[in-house]
Every structure is written in structure tokens, then in C-alpha cells.
Amino acid sequence: MRLKRTPLFETHARLGARLIEFGGWEMPVLYTGILEEHLAVRRAAGVFDISHMGEIQVIGAGAESFLNQILTNDVRTLSVGQGQYTLLCNPAGGVVDDLYVFRVDDEEYLLIVNASRVGADWDWLQGQLDTTAITEVIRLKDVSSAYGGIAVQGPRVAEFVNDVFSGGALRGALVPRVTDLRKNQIGIFLFNGVSVFVSRTGYTGEDGFEIIASAESIAALWDRVMAVGQAAGTRPAGLGARDTLRTEMGYPLYGQDLSETITPMEAGLGGFVAMDKGEFVGRAVLAAQQGGTMGRRAVAFQVTAKGPPPRPHYAIWSAGPDARALGHVSSGTQSPSLNCGIGMGFVPPSHAAVGTALDIEIRGQRVPAVVVRKPIYRKPV
């Protein structure tokens, strides 16, 4: 299969990026180095190409009720201009995708979904639409290929991001400036005379914004952000840094920490499941798991000895004598901020409490680790 290229492909080539396959896309994994890009985002600012992410519009008088039946979080709590992290589940409670839903207007929602799941999500949404009892108008539109996106992340982003746009929000959260958006808010702003979506969201744990714009304008947008952010030390950042940054926060990655056979409860995402909102797909299973027992739970861990970094699929063992296999690492890496191995994985609830000692098996050796609270890395205040 030929890999898809984002509208920023030429930009990456000009910057000398190293490219890898990710979710069917040819994406930059790094420009100069993962550690350097990671630390730039933690200390100043970084710009990521997120054009591979999917965008699905849900429009119409029935959009809210429809989404509330298929998403785990409560869509009704969203006022115009507000967004939330949420999950799309199958009847068994397994995760079809994890995503952001924004209420752009009264009867208009924008779903930002994982690149690798656009097709699966679209089929799932269509199937749900075909069987819904809602009679009001619901229109679905996959606009993924029409849009590109960038994420501008880091503690210094707010110093310059207003200079990218002209004027206040036209729709969504009607704020005078981009930096007036609060966390999880979205507004439509003008860039070069073209309207673009700007949300105060991200996947790094830092303050920052995600900007979704037409595929034609995304390269100019990238250049503009780099230009106005130069004095603040803004750098391009690749998927390598994106992965280490999100792992330090304990944010899940679909395909590793989430799948159609992992439920939000098992993944430790129960906070994004609104059990009290009424019926929704997967609710029965999730409610039973919430009130009862589960075979496994996701934990975050930190390696406590010097050793090789943990990686996905490595086995997790109980510590001490009579060690037994508990599960596996779902995400693991060397933390650039903490300078030690960190990760997430699945273990029985008996070994999921914070402070529990675990061993990670790395090439036949057991490396000691401890269950920690998320986020794994906290910035010194």
C-alpha cells in the first residue's frame, strides 16, 4: 500500500525530517533529535504535523442525541465552543476509538479521531446511524482529506500564538483572542483570510493549541507559526517526541493502550464515562466493570533501576519470590524529562495500586519498576 502524505510533506522534506510509517501515513519521526524536540516542547514550544488525524462532522437537530448514544462522555454538557475527550465503544465496552468532540455550533459537532481509525470510525458511525431510533436530521461528513492540522505546544506558545491570526473568533467560543480560549475550548479564527479551527488542546501535557485548517493553507500556517514563534525558541517536533511527551503524561495511544478488546474502565479512563447520562453503547458492560471486578487494569510505572527502556509487549512480572507473569507493557520509553524508563501496561487489579513493585522483563532480565500515579511526569512548579 502506498503511504499517504500530509499537505506538510514538502515542509518536512525541506526541514530534513526523518520519515516513518504511522497509521498508513508517511510522517516525520524527528527533525534533529527526539530528546531535543521533547525538551523544546517542555521548556519553550514545538510544532507538530497532525494532518494525519481524521475530522468527522456531525450536523443536524439530532446530532447531540446521536452522539450522546454512541460516546461515553456526556455531550450534553458541552456549550457552543466547548470540547471534551471521549470514547467510542462497541456493545462489549471495547474502544472503537478515543477522540475529541467539539461543539462548534448549536447543531454542529466536530470529531477529531485517530489517523489509523478514520475508516473504522466512519463505518461504525454509519452503522449506528442506520439503526438509530432518532428521527431528527443527522448528517455525517468525513472531511479528513480536506483538512490538515498542526499542534503548537509548550509553555511559551501563548506569548506568540495571537500573532498568527487576525481578529477574534467568528464562531465557536466567541473570544477576542486565541489566548482567551480556555482549556478544551474551540473557536473559528481567520488566518490569511481563511477560517480555521483553533482549540486549546494537545497531547503533550503542556499548554498549547491545535489548529485545523484547509489542506491548501496548512503549509503557510506552519511557516507563520514558526516565524512568529522563532524568538521564543519554537522548533518542529516529530512523532518521536509526541510519543515520549504523551507517555510522560500517561495519555493512551490507540493500538497500544486502547483497542476494540480493551474497555475504558480497564484503561483507567472511567472519568470519561458518564454512567449517569442514560443509555449508550457499551454502558451495561462498563457499569458492571465499574461496580464489580475486572481481570486487568492499566497502570503507569516508572523503572527504579538503571536499565534499558521498557517497550511495548515486554512482560510484566510480580516482584519478589514466587514471581508470576502479570501482563504486558502497552507503552514504554525512556523519559527525557525524568531520565529513566517509564511506561504503561496491564496487570491484575491486585497489582495495580500506586506503590506496587513490579518487574519488567527486558531481554530475559528482570528490571524493577513501581506503579505510579498519572501523570508520570509532573513539572516542578
Question: Under the rule (CB under 8 A), what is the footprint of other proteins?
Answer: 18, 29-30, 33-36, 240, 244, 306-309, 311, 333-334, 336, 363
Q: Helix, strand, or coil here: 31?
A: coil
Question: Residue 122 in contact with residue 111, Cβ under 8 Å?
Answer: no
**Min CB(20)–other proteins separation in Å:** 9
Nearest to 270 by CA among 255, 252, 244: 252
Q: Which is nearer to other proteins, 131 or 339 (CB)?
A: 339
**Min CB(164)–other proteins separation in Å:** 30
Nearest to 49 by CA among 256, 215, 246: 215
Q: Which is nearer to other proteins, 307 or 348 (CB)?
A: 307
**Min CB(312)–other proteins separation in Å:** 12
Task: Look at the alpha carbons of 7, 13, 220, 211 in this order and tell me if their dihedral is positive or negative.
Answer: positive
Question: Residue 354 in contact with residue 364, Cβ under 8 Å?
Answer: no
**Min CB(339)–other proteins separation in Å:** 8
**Min CB(35)–other proteins separation in Å:** 4
Q: Which is nearer to other proteins, 321 or 364 (CB)?
A: 364
Distance CA 149, CA 210 (A): 7
**Min CB(258)–other proteins separation in Å:** 21
Residue 31 has a CB neighbour count (10 Å cut-off) of: 20
**Min CB(309)–other proteins separation in Å:** 6
List CB contacts of 285: < 8 A, sequence separation 6 or more: 91, 92, 93, 263
| Phi, psi angle pair for 34, to nearest 5° | -65, -45
Q: Which is nearer to other proteins, 22 or 124 (CB)?
A: 22
Q: Which is nearer to other proteins, 20 or 275 (CB)?
A: 20
Q: Which is nearer to other proteins, 60 or 308 (CB)?
A: 308
CA triplet 86, 92, 97: central angle to 5 degrees?
A: 30
**Min CB(257)–other proteins separation in Å:** 17
Q: Helix, strand, or coil here: 89?
A: strand
DSSP string computed for 197-258: EEES--SSSSSEEEEEEETTTHHHHHHHHHHHHGGGTEEE--HHHHHHHHHHHT---BTTTB
Q: Which is nearer to other proteins, 205 or 238 (CB)?
A: 238
Q: Which is nearer to other proteins, 36 or 361 (CB)?
A: 36
Q: Which residue is associated with the grid cell 446530532? A: 63
